[in-house]
Amino acid sequence: MKEKIDQLFENEAQLPKISSVVSKVMEMVGKPDVVIADLAKEISKDPGLTAAVIKLSNSAYFRPAKPVKTVQESLMTLGIKTVQEIVLLNETKGILKKELKGYQVDGESNWLHSLIVAELAKRIAVQKKLKVDKDVVFTAGLLHNIGKVILAEFFPAVLMQFRTELQTYQGPYTDLEAKFFGYTHQEAGAKLLAKWNFPEELIEVARYYTEPEKATQFPELVSIIHIANCIVILGGMGIDIGGLKIPLSSKALQNVGVTEGDLQMYYTLLPEMAKHIEELISV
């Protein structure tokens, strides 16, 4: 099975992909001297993306101070990083909304899970006054489990065996992924984001969000996403075949300074956040 997945990564035409315009936008936003007019011109090369940016910019979720009519107005009203969020939301929607049959998660549930993890992670970063870019936190939360999209393609062939062994297995189900596929979904996700030339912090989140104690370059960011993911799973949003088998890391709580009281507060925020996210999904 590992050989088949290796072949998939070698044949990029079969991998989920992002457009050349989005790749260029990500590259431009990463530069400190990016010019808004140049960024607007790049986004405007894609008519579908242009329409999506304007439509999402005017949504209740982003709440612009005034109606947005052009990409440049969106950039000036909401800011470059927020527009980057919008671009990625539009681009990854089709990928993350795919039904993950092997994981026993439908597309809508996985998309909602990704969005709420992103939203909660950003709120944690703000509430704890952490020195991380809240827009990077949102993006990391959005993409944290994208590796499941890769492994889901191969799941049907081993699903019955996987499910049977999972019933008595006491360890993390990602160990079973490695056994049956030769990859965990975290490893697959990290490889995919590397193929997309995404920043190292996003790759490390995808690789270690279930094992934040192993993160070496961006432990704080990885820990935020880990905590948000665990809380959202506990809230019943996006539970997959592994159920509640990912334990909440005490090291992650220490890295971020999250207390038991904080955890309870975050959990109670989930219904309000789900309603807030629905404003985004409905656009």
Whether the per-residue pLDDT at 87 is higher than 80: the answer is: yes
pLDDT class of 248 with cuts at 50, 70, 90? very high
> Can you tell me the distance from the alpha carbon of 29 to that of 35, in angstroms, rounded to the nearest whole number?
9
Q: Provide Rg for the chain, Cα atoms.
A: 19
Q: Is residue 154 within 8 Å of 147, Cβ to Cβ?
A: no
Give the DSSP per-residue string, 115-150.
HHHHHHHHHHHHHTT-SS-HHHHHHHHHHTTTHHHH
175-201 pLDDT per residue, tens:
889 999 999 999 999 999 999 989 999
Whether the per-residue pLDDT at 269 is higher than 80: the answer is: yes
More confident site: 281 or 94? 94
> What would the two tokens of residue 15 be?
């991998």
Check residue 242 and give its pLDDT. Answer: 76
Please give the angle made by the CA atoms of 193, 42 and 82, to the nearest 5 degrees.
Answer: 65
pLDDT class of 283 with cuts at 50, 70, 90? low
Can you list the domains of the chain with their CATH numbers? 1-282 (1.10.3210.10)
Q: Report residue 100: phi and psi, to 5°.
A: -100, 75
pLDDT class of 117 with cuts at 50, 70, 90? very high
Residue type, position 254, single letter: Q
Of 72, 36, 37, give the one whose Cα is nearest residue 54: 72
Check residue 193 and give its pLDDT. Answer: 95
Mean model confidence pLDDT for the chain: 91
> Can you tell me the distance from the alpha carbon of 62 to that of 77, in angstroms, rounded to the nearest whole number?
10
> Can you tell me the distance from the alpha carbon of 30 to that of 132, in angstroms, rounded to the nearest whole number?
15
Highest mean pLDDT among 13-22, 63-72, 271-280: 63-72
198-241 pLDDT per residue, tens:
999 999 999 999 999 999 999 999 999 999 999 999 998 888 87
Check residue 11 and give its pLDDT. Answer: 83
pLDDT class of 8 with cuts at 50, 70, 90? confident
